[in-house]
Structure formats: structure tokens, C-alpha cells
Chain A
Amino acid sequence: MADPMKIRASAKDGITEVKVLMSHEMETGQRKDSSGNLVPAHFITELSAEHNGKQVLAAQFGTAVSKNPYLAFKFKGGAKGDKLAVSWVDNKGDKRTDEVAIN
């Protein structure tokens, strides 16, 4: 199980701004370790953000995304106290979902 994401969501004038900091290795599969063996790829493939259960963002991630990715986006709607959940799936089938209340 991966470490939790850090999420901030704040609603202002009908627009909710979301900032997410994920904790993930994001190995590309191209790197070699000190003994010359390839480090197996390990990266997030899909990410989804849901506002009160309704999807507001779906993204496909790849190996070009950095380690511990930072993601910020805005969507219309959302009010203080609403639930915002962000979840990802990586290429090894690991999953992680974290939820915060919008403030």
C-alpha cells in the first residue's frame, strides 16, 4: 500500500481548485541500478477525481510524469463540505484512494 496523497480543495465563486501531491516512485523501466540491472517500471497509469461520487477528471499517466507527481486542476461547481476523492491505479495493479472535504 502506497503512502497517502496530500490533497487540498478549496471552493471560491463556484469554482473548486484542487491540488494533489501523490507519493509514488514513477519508475520508467529505463533506469539501471548500480549493478547494471534494469529497474522494473512502476508508474501510475490512471488517475480519477470524483466530486460527491461524480467524476470530474480522468487522466492517463505515463512514464514521462515525475516521481511524486503534483497535479492541480479546477472544476466548476463544488461547495464547502463536499467530498472530493482522488484515486489512482498503477501498472502493478496497486491502488490508492484519498478523500478530503472541500473548504
Chain B
Amino acid sequence: MSRFSKASLSGALVLAFATLAGGTALADGKYSGVGRPATRAEIHAWDIDVRPDFKGLRPGSGSVDQGQEVWEAKCASCHGSFGESNEVHTPLIGGTTKDDIKTGHVLSLVKGDAPQRSAIMKVATVSTLFDYINRAMPLTAPKSLSNDEVYGLVAYLLNLAEIVPADFVLNEKNIAEAQARMPNRNGMSTDHGMWPGAPASKGGIGNGGKPDVKNTACMSNCKTEVKVASLLPVYAETAHGNLAEQNRAVGPVRGKDTSGKAVTVAAAPAPLSENAAAAKLANDSGCMACHGVANKIVGPGYNEVVAKYKGQADAEAKLVAKVKAGGQGVWGAIPMPPQGHLKDGDIRSLVKWILSGAKAQ
């Protein structure tokens, strides 16, 4: 659903659920007795998107200074104090000029002279910044920021990019002013098939979903089966190691298992062993986004951790405290954010699992 044209839909949804809440069961007899209509509060908690016209934006306010405090506490460890860091993620701020703010086009994107594209060079709508921070940040604890904190953070970022002055207090009313100064506000094109809905001539945006490429169906003299014309030779498959292992273990794994030991076993799901449960916990808690079992990603691999703390009796207690409070310096300059939102018991079983070799089974 386009973020531009969802207005009427979500309104209708809320209305439909509100009327259902009065009745006893769903009117459609097919699923009677199953489930219940979502409550107003549940829909409110779920429906958090903010659109470019600021529909869905909840009232609130945050100043640049308030944003800076939150930034230093929760964001600067990965993004740098000024959003300039290139260590964990690409820079957020930089590459825009005062002229860009006037024209609404980032010149260095056209000239290609910026060494790297920063987020503020590319983003066209301030609502995107707000929505993304609100929805997904901080990476280790998404949706933990209050509404006013998000306002503050957006104000701080806009101030870093010199879009708003240092004494700016962003709220739901003046966010449109900030939008009118976004450096790349005129840089977004919708005249292509990625935008669904009606074409521009009929009051929508985009070209009506017409794709850029034409996959013409073969109607005569067609091949009957797909033939793979060439494959990487087996000896070259491992040129870059085992590809499957190099994927972060979150989400679907896309790399091919090139270890030569790939097994395809469709065993019945057995109850999780202690190791498997801990591995799942590590996945669900986001540990695997930064740590690999046998390789360094952003933080050290678990094998390195085991090697470092081998033979130390108090390693477990030490590591539990470190995971809880976060740390920096042992493995380099990139800090590990504090994981206080995890239960103590969970942290202890994670640390035990890591020290025992982080086995999957």
C-alpha cells in the first residue's frame, strides 16, 4: 500500500473495528467463537506509520538539546556524536550544502563528487526519518523511544545537517517547515513502476505501475525447460569460503553452503535442546546481528570470546555484567550497547552457551 494513499484505508479499518467491538462475535459466521476484534488501543499501538503529509504523526515536541542528550546516550555509540561515523553504518549526516537546502536538490548526488552518500543526502521526506527512528531504533531495542524523544532526535539530526537552528523545538505543527528545507526534498521521482495505484494523469502518483522492463511472454517456438548455461566450477565455489556462514544469522540466509558438507535432512522438529534454545535466544535478542559464532562481524565472534576468557574462573560473571552494562575497548573502539532489557536469567544462559562453544545443537 502506498504511503501516500493509505489515508482512507486505515481510517476505514479503525471504523470497522470500532463497530465490531460493540458486537459479541464476528458477523461472518465462518469463524464464530474464534478470536476477538482488535481494541482501539491495540490498533493505536500498531498503527504507527507517519506519512509525508504527516498523517499519522502523533503530537509531541522535542528540542535539539533534548535530542542531543538522547543521541549521546543511545545513538552516538554506533552513529558517532555528529552522525558522521562510518564504522558501523554509513554516515547519516554530511555532503549537503546551504544551496541544496535552497534548491531541494543535493548537487553532489548529481556531480557524484561526494566520497559517500549519507542518509541526509538521500532522504526526501522528514517523515521518513521520524517513522524509521520511531519504528526501528535503537537497533537493539526498537520502539523503546518515547514520542517526544523521537521528535528530539529528528530535531538534533536536522540541526546537524544545518536544516534547523540550534534552538529549534520540533513539534507536529512546525515539522512541515523542516520538510520545506530538506536538502533532497525535490530529489524523489515517482514516475516509474515502483509506485502502485493510479498514474499521475488520473490523480495518483507514479505511472500506474508500468514496469521499466518488459518481460514479454514467449508465444511461439519457446523453450520447454530452463537450462542452466553455466555454473561456478566446484573448485572455485570456496574461493571466498563458505558463503552460508558469512551471512548474518538473522532473517533468511541467502548464501549457498559451499562447505561441501551441505546436508538436507528434513527431520521432524524435535524439542529444542539446551544449546538450540540458547541459539534461538541469541537470534531473537539480536546478538547475532553483531556477533558471529565463528567469525567477527561488528563485535567479536564467539570463538574469539571463548579463546580470550579460557581458563578464567570468573569469566561467566564478568561477561554477564558486561553484556548487561555494555562495554568498549576490549575488542576495539566500537562499543557494545547495554542490554539491560534482557532478563538476567537469559543473559546468564546466553553467556553459558557462548563459553561452552556456542553450539547450534
Bitwise interface map of A from 1 to 34 toward B, beta carbon under 8 Å scored 1, else 0: 0010010101000000001010000000000000
Bitwise interface map of B from 147 to 163 toward A, beta carbon under 8 Å scored 1, else 0: 00000000000001010
- The answer, yes or no, to whether A55 is at the interface (CB within 8 Å) is no
A72 to chain B, nearest CB (A): 8
A26 to chain B, nearest CB (A): 13
- Pairwise interchain contact A21-B72, C-beta atoms closer than 8 A: no
- The answer, yes or no, to whether B84 is at the interface (CB within 8 Å) is yes
B106 to chain A, nearest CB (A): 16
Inside 8 A of A3's CB, which chain B residues have their CB? Answer: 162
B contact face: mostly helix, strand, loop, or mixed: loop
- Pairwise interchain contact A6-B82, C-beta atoms closer than 8 A: yes
Q: Give CA–CA (A8, B75) in the complex, Å.
A: 14
Interface residue ranges of B38-82 to A (CB < 8 Å)? 72, 80-82
- Pairwise interchain contact A8-B160, C-beta atoms closer than 8 A: no
Among B81, B94, B162, which residue has its beta carbon within 8 angstroms of that of A8?
A: B81
- Pairwise interchain contact B94-A68, C-beta atoms closer than 8 A: yes
- Pairwise interchain contact B72-A70, C-beta atoms closer than 8 A: no
Among B81, B94, B160, which residue has its beta carbon within 8 angstroms of that of A19?
A: B81
Q: Which of A3, A8, A10 has the most CB of B within 10 A?
A: A8
Inside 8 A of A6's CB, which chain B residues have their CB? Answer: 81-82, 160
Interface residue ranges of B86-112 to A (CB < 8 Å)? 94
Inside 8 A of B72's CB, which chain A residues have their CB? Answer: 8, 10
B126 to chain A, nearest CB (A): 21
Q: Give CA–CA (A54, B72) in the complex, Å.
A: 27
Using CB atoms, name the residue of chain B closest to A19.
B81
Q: Give CA–CA (A68, B83) in the complex, Å.
A: 13
Q: Give CA–CA (A19, B72) in the complex, Å.
A: 12
Among B84, B160, B162, which residue has its beta carbon within 8 angstroms of that of A70?
A: B84
Q: Give CA–CA (A21, B93) in the complex, Å.
A: 12
Inside 8 A of A19's CB, which chain B residues have their CB? Answer: 81-82
A17 to chain B, nearest CB (A): 10
Q: Give CA–CA (A10, B84) in the complex, Å.
A: 18
B202 to chain A, nearest CB (A): 43
B168 to chain A, nearest CB (A): 15
Interface residue ranges of A26-83 to B (CB < 8 Å)? 68, 70
Inside 8 A of A21's CB, which chain B residues have their CB? Answer: 81-82, 84
Q: Give CA–CA (A72, B135) in the complex, Å.
A: 31
Inside 8 A of B84's CB, which chain A residues have their CB? Answer: 21, 70
Q: Give CA–CA (A96, B160) in the complex, Å.
A: 19
A41 to chain B, nearest CB (A): 18
Inside 8 A of A70's CB, which chain B residues have their CB? Answer: 80, 82, 84
Using CB atoms, name the residue of chain B closest to A68.
B94
Q: Which of A6, A19, A70 has the most CB of B within 10 A?
A: A6
A66 to chain B, nearest CB (A): 9
Q: B: which residues have CB within 8 A of A? A: 72, 80-82, 84, 94, 160, 162
Q: A: which residues have CB within 8 A of B? A: 3, 6, 8, 10, 19, 21, 68, 70
A-B contact pairs, 17 of them (CB 8 A): A3-B162, A6-B81, A6-B82, A6-B160, A8-B72, A8-B81, A8-B82, A10-B72, A19-B81, A19-B82, A21-B81, A21-B82, A21-B84, A68-B94, A70-B80, A70-B82, A70-B84
Q: Which A-B residue pairs are the 8 nearest by beta carbons?
A: A21-B82, A19-B81, A8-B81, A6-B82, A70-B84, A21-B84, A68-B94, A6-B160
Q: A19-B81, A21-B84, A70-B84 are in contact. List 11 more A-B contacts (CB 8 A).
A: A6-B81, A6-B82, A6-B160, A8-B72, A8-B81, A19-B82, A21-B81, A21-B82, A68-B94, A70-B80, A70-B82
